[in-house]
Amino acid sequence: MTRFRLLSAAALLAFAANASATSFIVTTDSIVGALKASSDATSDVTSSFRDDKIVLAARDDAASFVASEGDIRGVKLESALEHIRHQAPQLSATDAQLAQAILTL
């Protein structure tokens, strides 16, 4: 009977370890997918607006916005965000993502 319990415990342990590994892989894939989508959005913005005067003028405001975690929203940044969303309506990026993209220009 002891051998049966030992084998049962080993089987349950192996099953639990496999379930945890699968859960970890699914979670990791979800996070990587979200980061890739964010990166793609940022890349789209930087390539499209590299020479745009309105967007380039908002770099200082974008830096303040990012540094203050969204508390400081300058007029030039607001104008640039509106301009970007008007020029690329299919873009689904947050203000923080767009501000970071502006900083990379």
When pLDDT is cut at 50, 70 and 90, the band that residue 21 belongs to is very low
What local confidence, expressed as pLDDT, does residue 46 receive? Answer: 55
Instruction: Report the predicted TM-score, pTM, of the whole model to 2 decimal places.
Output: 0.55
Task: Find all residues with CB under 8 Å of 41, minimum gap 6, and list them.
Answer: 91, 92, 93, 97, 101
Per-residue pLDDT, 28: 56
Could you tell me the CA-to-CA distances from 73 to 27, 54, 58, 86, 90 in Å, in that order?
34, 15, 10, 19, 23
Domain that holds residue 8: 2-103
Number of domains the chain contains: 1
Evaluate whether 74 touches 61 at the Cβ level (below 8 Å). Answer: yes
Task: For residue range 22-49, list pLDDT tens digits in order.
Answer: 555 555 555 656 556 555 555 555 566 7
